[in-house]
Chains A and B, each alone.
Chain A
Amino acid sequence: MSTSASGKHGTPAIEATGLVKRFKTGRTYIEVLKGMNFDATHGDLTMVMGPSGSGKSTLIAALSGLLKPDEGRVDILDVDDLWKKSSGRIDRFRLDHCGFIFQGFNLFPALTALQQVKIVLKYQGLSPAEQDRRARVALEEVGLGHRMNQRPAELSGGEKQRVAIARCLAKSPQLIFADEPTSALDGENGQVVIRLLRRAAVEHGAAVICVTHDPRLEAWADRVIKMEDGYILSDEKRVPDPNPAPLAH
């Protein structure tokens, strides 16, 4: 089975079947993913929700090539069975197609916002001029045009997360994985972040998979998947609220 890499709205981006992941704790295993099926579509902001410990992070680690599941397969863009590939090929796949946003910002203290964004583009093999151009566009897009030469110590939490988003968007990824991107932020900054993710889906046609346990983010989603204890509890498509209520903290 193959999925399209066109990035066209509505085309499938990820199809995963029968994902099982167990962790060893002491002498026993705990099964975190219990044969999960999952799919995501280009242009959609797919929200994965569920209580803490339900396996959300493990799921996107398995989908994105960061953590090998014990069973099951992941077909992603035009790659059949991602986990059959060598780790070098999987790294290359992520470099070409995947963006990540984590709860922490993970920015190098020594680098300015512009340098943080450029470094990834450098490893993609872009020319210095192109690195610079794309990095500036991405930082403008997240509203940090005036803070490009600031280092993390000089940026607020919300600004740091926006740098991390710019670092992710500058690659023009077809897949964006966000794990609790707003939980370290106040309501206002959280709203800026979720709006940027939504824009990446709508305007760039990326498949955005956003994990959260914050029910207020639901309003922005095209699709909400609820997980509990390694299973999918519910999966509903919805029409995103054009004017969602502000996230107050």
Chain B
Amino acid sequence: MFRSDTARAGFKGACSESMSLALSTLIYEWRRYMAAVVALAFSGLLVLAFAGMFMGMGKSFTATIDRSGADVMILAPGATQLFGGPSGVPRRLIPIIYQHPEVEVVDYIDLSGGRFESMDQAALRAPGATPPQGQRSESVMVTSIVTQPGNPTIPVDYSEALVEALRQPDAVVLDETALTRLGVQLGDEAIYNGHRVRVVGVTRGYANFMQPGMVMSRDTLRRYGEAYNGSRVGPLMVRLRDPARAEVVVAQLNAGANGQYRAWTRAELSAANEASMFEEGIIVVMLGFSVFLGGLIGIAITWQTLRGAILANIKEFASLRALGVGMGSLRRIIVELSFWVGIVGIGASFLLTWLISLLAGMFGLPMAFPLPMCLAVSALLLIIALLSGFLSLGMLQQSQPADLLR
């Protein structure tokens, strides 16, 4: 008789005496269920990685809002997001907003964009260099900040030294993720829309995949002739004396808006921006496709695994049937088994996704996993597992106790 006391000994502690048949079987015969768990893990990874990447992109998109020094932002009345669509307001609103007693500073967003060309730095420093030629050319999006202390356009995580560096003419700041793409390093000179600029600072956490972002002072932007000078400006950024009063002030401002503008708290606007990402058709299609594909693969493999597992224990089930245990009870065992497979699959899926996000983080690709998204994916995996369980219930019909009598 085959014995493997040592191999089994480890399970003794793991399977408590009162554990259910389904759970004991899953733990004891875990190898059999590996395929299903791995399939579920990859289904979850597929969805989580896609959604996490989009959420991460959204986060870096809204980073300028989330980390701006503004407590309140003021957009055109119909605008539902900061970028994309007309969100600017008339310049004459600025003094109107200042009338609110709790408002400290009002400024506005001023964006620009253009061509960014790196230069051969060695040739640049060589004595008697000829006027340098642009090398690599990329388009960049420019955000401008007003470098006065306490101005709401300055991101809260900008150090004093970084702001000071931006006060120099022609100074620009890039995110670390844009450096390779733009072919420059800290301290390099480059050409932006024909102007010589110098990279004076590098930020972290402002990745943007669509287009590298660049920051310069409003003064520099103005000297390049790219700043607002007409009667309209970008969305207003408002700093309050007491940031905790943002919601109250927003309500008061909106009450007196007369349809000329709409005030948002920073959090509100950030959420709206994030949500607007999911109104993008392509993202919904890709997410929907990953859910569909993940679901299909998950169900197919989990179903087959559970079928195999039932078949492997069919005689044992038949002997329970002979002893009078009804079909309903056996079905419950299978559904419980699929439930536990789902739970383990969810765990494996998050583990895998966590590893992938670590890897992505190393390449400067931020991923974000908000709790509602994680809950939704967990629910999806559990549904996949339970569905597979229900699909494999038919196998139990093969547990004919009369077959044990031969």
Give A residues with C-beta under 8 Å from B. 57-58, 60-61, 64, 66-67, 88, 91-96, 98-100, 102-104, 106-112, 114-115, 119-120, 123, 128, 149, 151, 153-157, 164, 167-168, 171, 179
B133 to chain A, nearest CB (A): 73
- B323, A120: Cβ atoms closer than 8 Å: yes
Asked if A119 and B324 make an inter-chain contact with CB atoms under 8 angstroms apart, the answer reads: no
In angstroms, Cα B323 to Cα A45, docked, is: 20
B122 within 8 A of A: no
Q: Are B323 and A102 in contact (CB under 8 A)?
A: no
Q: Are A119 and B3 in contact (CB under 8 A)?
A: no
Q: What is the bound-complex CA distance between A102 and B323, given in angstroms?
A: 11
Known A-B contacts A67-B402, A153-B3; A115 and B323 likewise in contact (beta carbons under 8 Å)? no
Complex: how many Å from CA A94 to CA B322?
Answer: 7
Contact between A96 and B404 (Cβ–Cβ < 8 Å)?
Answer: no
Alpha-carbon distance between A112 and B4 when the two chains are bound, in angstroms: 14
- Whole-angstrom distance between the alpha carbons of A167 and B316 in the complex? 12
Q: Given the interface contacts A66-B405, A102-B405, does A95 sit within 8 Å of B24 by beta carbon?
A: no
- Give, as a whole number of angstroms, the nearest-CB distance from A145 to chain B: 16
- Assuming the contacts A96-B324, A110-B24, asked whether A149 and B12 have C-beta atoms less than 8 A apart, the reply is yes
Residues of B within 8 A of A98 (CB): 322-324
Q: Mark B14-28, 1 if CB is under 8 A from A, else 0.
A: 010110010011011
User: Would you mind naming 26 contact pairs between A and B with Cβ atoms under 8 Å apart?
Assistant: A61-B405, A64-B322, A66-B405, A88-B326, A91-B325, A92-B326, A94-B322, A95-B323, A100-B319, A102-B404, A102-B405, A104-B315, A106-B315, A106-B316, A106-B319, A108-B24, A109-B25, A109-B29, A109-B313, A110-B21, A112-B17, A114-B17, A115-B17, A115-B24, A149-B12, A179-B406
Closest 10 CB pairs of A and B: A95-B324, A110-B28, A94-B324, A106-B319, A57-B405, A67-B402, A110-B25, A110-B24, A66-B402, A100-B322
| CA gap between A35 and B319 in the complex, in Å | 28
Q: Which residue of the partner chain, among B4, B15, B17, B323, contacts A168 with CB atoms under 8 Å?
A: B323
Contacts of A119 in B (CB 8 A): 21, 320
Contacts of B319 in A (CB 8 A): 100, 102, 106, 164
B204: Cβ under 8 A from any A Cβ: no
The interface residues of chain B lying within 8 Å CB-to-CB of A111 are 21, 24
Q: Quick one: which of B28, B323, B326, B404 has the most chain A CB within 10 A? A: B323
Query: Which residues of chain A come closer than 8 Å to B18, judged between CB atoms?
Result: 128
Q: Which B300-327 residues have C-beta < 8 A from chain A?
A: 313, 315-316, 318-327
CB atoms of B25 and A104 under 8 A apart: no
A126 to chain B, nearest CB (A): 13
In the complex, the chain A residue whose C-beta lies closest to that of B7 is: A153
- Give the chain A neighbours of B28 by CB distance below 8 A: 109-110, 151
Q: Write the chain A residue with the least CB distance to B312.
A: A109
Give the residues in chain B near A102, CB-CB below 8 Å. Answer: 319, 322, 404-405
Check B405 against A167 for contact (C-beta < 8 Å).
no
Q: Which residues of B contact A95 (CB under 8 A)?
A: 323-326
Chain B residues numbered 378-406 whose CB sits less than 8 Å from any CB in chain A: 401-402, 404-406
Indicate if the CB atoms of A92 and B315 lie closer than 8 Å: no
**Are A123 and B402 in contact, with the CB atoms below 8 A?**
no
Which residues of chain B have C-beta atoms less than 8 A from A128's C-beta? 18
Residue in contact with A103 in the complex, picked from B318, B327, B406, CB distance below 8 Å: B406
Complex interface residues of chain B between 127 and 173 (CB less than 8 A to chain A): none
Chain A min CB distance to B80 (Å) = 55
Q: Please, which residue of chain B has its CB at the minimum distance from the CB of A158? A: B1
Interface check B363, CB cutoff 8 A: no
Q: Which residues of B contact A156 (CB under 8 A)?
A: 1
Q: Which residues of B contact A61 (CB under 8 A)?
A: 402, 405
| Contact indicator B324/A110 (Cβ below 8 Å) | no
The CA of A168 and the CA of B404, in the complex, are separated in Å by 15
Q: Are B316 and A108 in contact (CB under 8 A)?
A: yes
Q: Are B8 and A153 in contact (CB under 8 A)?
A: yes
- Min Cβ gap A156→B in Å is 5
Taking the closest CB of chain A, its distance from the CB of B328, in whole angstroms, is: 9
B313: chain A residues at CB < 8 Å are 108-109
Chain A residues in 8 Å Cβ range of B322: 64, 66, 94, 98, 100, 102
**A123 and B329 contacting across the interface, CB-CB below 8 Å:** yes
Find chain B residues with CB under 8 A from A94 CB. 322-324
Q: Is the CB of B316 within 8 A of A92?
A: no
Does B5 have its Cβ within 8 Å of any Cβ on chain A?
A: yes
With A100-B319, A102-B319, A111-B21 known as contacts, the answer to whether A123 contacts B406 (CB < 8 A) is no
Chain A residues with CB below 8 A from B2, complex form: 153
Q: How far is the CB of B18 from chain A (nearest CB, A)?
A: 7
B17 touches A107 (CB 8 A): no
Residues of chain A lying within 8 A (CB to CB) of residue B320: 119-120, 123
CB distance from A109 to the nearest CB of B (A): 7
Which chain A residues lie closer than 8 Å to B15 at the CB level?
Answer: 110, 112
How distant is B142 from chain A, measured CB to nearest CB, in Å?
64
Which residue on chain B has the smallest CB distance to residue A168? B323
**Complex-state Cα separation, A119 to B321, whole angstroms:** 12
Taking CB atoms, residues of chain A closer than 8 Å to B1 are 155-157
CB-based nearest B residue for A159: B1
For the complex, give the distance between the alpha carbons of A110 and B312 in Å.
12
- What is the bound-complex CA distance between A108 and B312, given in angstroms? 10
**Sample of 15 further A-B pairs with CB below 8 A, known A100-B323, A110-B21, A120-B320:** A61-B402, A66-B401, A67-B402, A91-B325, A95-B324, A98-B324, A102-B319, A102-B405, A106-B315, A108-B24, A120-B325, A123-B329, A149-B12, A154-B4, A154-B8
A211 to B18, CA, bound (A): 35
Please report the C-alpha to C-alpha distance between residue A149 and residue B9 in the assembled complex, in whole angstroms. 11
User: In the complex the two chains form, what is the Cα distance from A109 to B314 in whole Å?
Assistant: 12
Q: Report A-chain residues with C-beta under 8 Å of the C-beta of B404.
A: 100, 102, 104, 106, 179
- The chain B residue sitting closest to A66, CB to CB, is B402
Collect the chain A residues with CB atoms within 8 Å of residue B29's CB. 109-110
Q: Which residues of A contact B5 (CB under 8 A)?
A: 154
Q: How far, in angstroms, from A67 to B21 measured CA to CA in the complex?
A: 27
